[in-house]
Amino acid sequence: MRYVLDTSALLAHYRQEMGWQPVQALFEADGTELILASVSLTEFGRRLRELGAAEDEVEEALASYQLLFGEVAAVDAAVARAAFVLGCRTQRRLPLVDALIAAVAQSREATLVHRDEHMRAIPSDLVRQQDLGAALTG
């Protein structure tokens, strides 16, 4: 099975917050293809800095996490256009970075793993999702 991990899933794992165990299980599963959208590297690093991590700590975390993924997917023209369409077809506001990450999942026919309220608004017929935060909303 193929998965794209949203930045929110990385943060949950890194901080061992609600939803981190399913992410760990994906990292340990045989035959699982893990993909990271390139923009998640920036978003994850910026969020760690906001939480007080020093720049060298952030660089170390980014390097360590990047090794866990089979692919770091670039945002190319096709992904950018798909992100635009996702934004148009989502009823609520979908931030640009979230739209780009979801578009990577869509383009790779992968399940988007997240803990992000914005992602929940994406119609399920457009992007298959595993919501780590479902327990928070249910």
Q: Would you say residue 90 lies in a domain?
A: yes
- Cα(83)–Cα(122) distance, rounded to whole angstroms? 11
Query: For residue 16, what are the domain limits?
Result: 2-133
Q: Would you say residue 69 lies in a domain?
A: yes
Q: Which pLDDT tens digit goes with each residue over 35-85?
A: 999 999 999 999 999 999 999 999 999 999 999 999 999 999 999 999 999
Q: Would you say residue 138 lies in a domain?
A: no
pLDDT of residue 138: 41
Complete DSSP assignment for 27-46: HH-TT-EEEEEHHHHHHHHH
Q: Would you say residue 85 lies in a domain?
A: yes
Six token digits for residue 60: 């170390």
What is the DSSP pairing of strand 33-37 with strand 2-5?
parallel
What is the domain count for the chain? 1
Does position 137 have pLDDT exceeding 60, yes or no?
no
Report the amino acid identity of residue 84.
F
pLDDT of residue 134: 74
Helix segments in the chain, DSSP class H: 7-15, 20-28, 38-50, 55-66, 77-89, 96-107, 117-120, 134-137
Does position 17 have pLDDT exceeding 50, yes or no?
yes
